Structure 1
Amino acid sequence: MLVVIFRATTAELDPQYTELAVKLRDKAIREYGCLEFVSACEGKQEIALSYWPDLASIKAWQADPEHRRAQVLGKQLWYSDYQVQIAQIGDLRTPE
């Protein structure tokens, strides 16, 4: 499994941001195979973790036209700084 780690310093978030974030999260899960998506904000810091079965699913999501437009808006309006990392993860829980 892969995790995409999105970390950002936010500028001014508005209702358009919130509406688009919810819509795109649902689309990633419904159409692109995202397994789970969680996010949190503290002050001006935001982190979002999305879990994916494979790199092909992440690349398909990255290329989605609506997601691409949201990325442009994010750079212009909502984020003063951001970074994206992808990591391979596994489940370390002890079997019962």
Structure 2
Amino acid sequence: MSDPAFATTPEPPYYAVIFSSRRTVGDEGYARMAERMAELAAQQPGYLGAESARDADGFGITVSYWSSPEAIADWKAHAEHAVARELGRRVWYEHFELRVARVERAYGKG
């Protein structure tokens, strides 16, 4: 039985983009943009899925999974994604960190 909160990924290797953030107070259009970015990312070649969580204090982590560094670069270059990143820097995030990692091994239960 699969759990829709978990991304379904292929056998490694693949890549993970890990975005950790602390939100500012208020929505300021964040929820709508986050939904749009999830829809848009899912349409990109090389996108494998994502997992996301945010606590009551505004700290969150989103991990998106990609088939290659090129797919990640193409997503970064997408015009709508660029607008969302700029709004994130100016309006939505007090602090953020982004890390890109190659997944060499993966296993789970479920």
Provide TM-score, normalisation by structure 1. Answer: 0.89
Question: What is the percent sequence identity of the aligned residues?
Answer: 28
2:37 counterpart residue number: 24
Paired with 1:78 and 1:58, the residues of 2 have a C-alpha distance of 22
**How many aligned positions are there?**
94
Question: What pairs with 1:29-68 in structure 2 (closer than 5 Å)?
Answer: 29-42=42-55, 43-68=57-82
1:14 matched to 2:36? The reply is no
The root-mean-square deviation of aligned C-alpha atoms, in Å, is 1.6
Q: Which runs of 5+ in 1 are unaligned?
A: none
Per the TM alignment, residue 16 of structure 1 is displaced from its structure 2 partner at its CA by 1.4
Extract structure 1 runs of 4+ deviating beyond 6 A. none
Report Cα offsets for 1:18-64 as digits up to 9, x if no partner: 11111111111112431111111012201000000000000000011
For 2:65, give the aligned amino acid. Answer: Y
Q: Is the 8 A contact 1:12 1:77 kept in 2?
A: no
Q: Which runs of 5+ in 2 are unaligned?
A: 1-13
